[in-house]
């Protein structure tokens, strides 16, 4: 007989965090998150300053067989005029009854809070892992993307969920550069608008410039990214602290105007997925060594985020930073690049048609009226 247990103690929190490591044991594609990062995300993450969240386990005797985190982001609901709860950290054994218990428990809390819809898997904001994998199960995902067994999607459909949106990812050949025609276009764009390349290595030394970068990130995606939630100042500080140390000019690029104001950006860094697999959720004793080695290996890079500030969109500036990143990829010995999830309806995904590419993964956000 299954039992639902709300996570309140430190002991149960660690059981919640460790469950996927047991569930996916032997799965060559699963990438474990660092346990310390998960503790932070579930107890101290910046969005928790305004989000509500509750967590539950499903137990079979004393054995964990499922988990779920339910979140309410009032900033999202106010921005989009919704009454939605989001779920994440959803994992369970291959038993529909377990999935049903997890979702029903989250739905009960949602109704208590006056919510009318549930969707996910999502994070508190737009920065975290989101989207249930529907295609590409044989591939190893980037570290910031979810992996799940195929039966998860069967459970969603059985429980009355429908597709809200799909994100797609591609794998590109990274060392073929760009056609000469594209280079000429980039040169014309640079000259026409008096643009020049900036330095991320210099930018990240200045806290004020880092904050400005993330505020430009907010502006860049506020109109173009589905369900986007602008970062608060506290979230910007958290993201800057966790992300900026790993970003460099080696495979990333920023574009500035004649006043040294940010125009566009393309951010990527070496894949750390295989290093995280070896670390098995722990930095010590050897996990940090695996990660440091991975950060010096540019054979495969993850394209994390790219965009242009609103007034520079649709002016051809994306071609400039893509060309710059392609040149850097060739120089650094980069063979493969994996794109970050992009909404399938966004015309920006067509940029990958300019490169030798293949489908890599597809992931879905499900939604249901409650």
Residue range 223-246, pLDDT digits in tens: 778 899 999 999 999 999 998 988
Whole-number Å distance between alpha carbons of 180 and 349:
22
CA torsion, points 92, 98, 102, 105, in degrees to nearest 10? -170
Q: Quote the tokens at residue 327.
A: 């040149």
Contacts of 208 (CB under 8 A, 6+ apart): none
Mean pLDDT of 182-209: 93
Whole-number Å distance between alpha carbons of 215 and 309:
10
Confidence of residue 351 (pLDDT cuts 50, 70, 90): low
Domains delineated in the chain: 2-168 (3.40.630.30), 175-334 (3.40.630)
Whole-number Å distance between alpha carbons of 215 and 228:
14
Predicted confidence at residue 182, as pLDDT, reads: 83
DSSP element (H, E) containing 241: helix 233-243
Q: Would you say residue 350 has pLDDT above 80? A: no
Can you state the angle between helices 151-158 and 96-112, rounded to 10 degrees? 50
Beta bridge mates, 153: none
Predicted confidence at residue 170, as pLDDT, reads: 95
Whole-number Å distance between alpha carbons of 11 and 319:
50
Contacts of 212 (CB under 8 A, 6+ apart): 262
Choice among 47-56, 110-119, 146-155, 258-267 with the minimum mean pLDDT: 258-267
Predicted confidence at residue 322, as pLDDT, reads: 85
CB 169 within 8 A of CB 303: no
Residue range 116-133, pLDDT digits in tens: 999 999 999 999 999 999
Q: What is the mean pLDDT of the chain?
A: 94
CB 201 within 8 A of CB 248: yes
Q: Would you say residue 282 has pLDDT above 90? A: yes
Predicted confidence at residue 302, as pLDDT, reads: 96
Q: Would you say residue 161 has pLDDT above 90? A: yes
Confidence of residue 347 (pLDDT cuts 50, 70, 90): low
Q: Would you say residue 247 has pLDDT above 80? A: yes
The angle formed by the CA atoms of residues 79, 122 and 149, to the nearest 5 degrees, is 160
């Amino acid at each position: 007989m299954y039992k639902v247990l709300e996570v309140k103690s430190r002991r149960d929190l660690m059981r919640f965090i460790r469950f996927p490591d047991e569930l996916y044991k032997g799965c060559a594609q699963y990438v474990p998150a660092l346990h310390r990062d998960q503790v932070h995300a579930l107890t101290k993450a910046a969005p928790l300053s305004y989000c509500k969240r509750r967590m539950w386990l499903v137990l079979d005797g004393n054995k964990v067989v499922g988990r779920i985190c339910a979140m309410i982001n009032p900033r999202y609901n106010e921005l989009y005029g919704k009454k939605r709860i989001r779920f994440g950290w959803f994992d369970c054994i291959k038993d529909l009854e377990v999935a049903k218990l997890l979702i029903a428990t989250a739905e009960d809390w949602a109704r208590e809070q006056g919510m009318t819809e549930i969707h996910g898997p999502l994070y508190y904001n737009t920065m975290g892992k989101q989207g249930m994998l529907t295609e590409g199960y044989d591939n190893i995902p980037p570290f910031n993307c979810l992996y799940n067994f195929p039966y998860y999607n069967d459970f969603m459909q059985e429980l009355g969920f429908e597709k809200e949106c799909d994100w797609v990812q591609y794998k590109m050949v990274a060392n073929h550069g760009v056609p000469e025609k594209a280079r000429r276009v980039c040169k014309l764009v640079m000259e026409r608008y008096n643009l020049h390349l900036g330095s991320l290595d210099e930018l990240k030394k200045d806290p004020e410039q880092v904050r400005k970068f993330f505020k430009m990130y907010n502006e860049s995606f506020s109109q173009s990214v589905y369900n986007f939630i602008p970062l608060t100042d506290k979230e910007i500080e958290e993201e800057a602290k966790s992300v900026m140390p790993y970003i460099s000019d080696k495979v990333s690029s920023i574009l500035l105007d004649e006043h040294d104001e940010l125009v566009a950006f393309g951010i990527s860094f070496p894949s750390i997925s295989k290093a995280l697999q070896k670390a098995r959720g722990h930095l010590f004793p050897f996990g940090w060594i695996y990660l440091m080695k991975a950060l010096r290996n540019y054979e495969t890079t993850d394209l994390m985020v790219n965009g242009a500030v609103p007034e520079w969109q649709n002016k051809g500036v994306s071609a400039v930073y893509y060309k710059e990143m392609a040149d850097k990829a060739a120089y650094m010995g980069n063979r493969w690049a994996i794109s970050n999830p992009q909404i399938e309806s966004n015309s920006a995904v067509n940029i990958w048609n300019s490169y030798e590419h293949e489908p890599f993964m597809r992931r879905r956000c499900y939604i249901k009226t409650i």
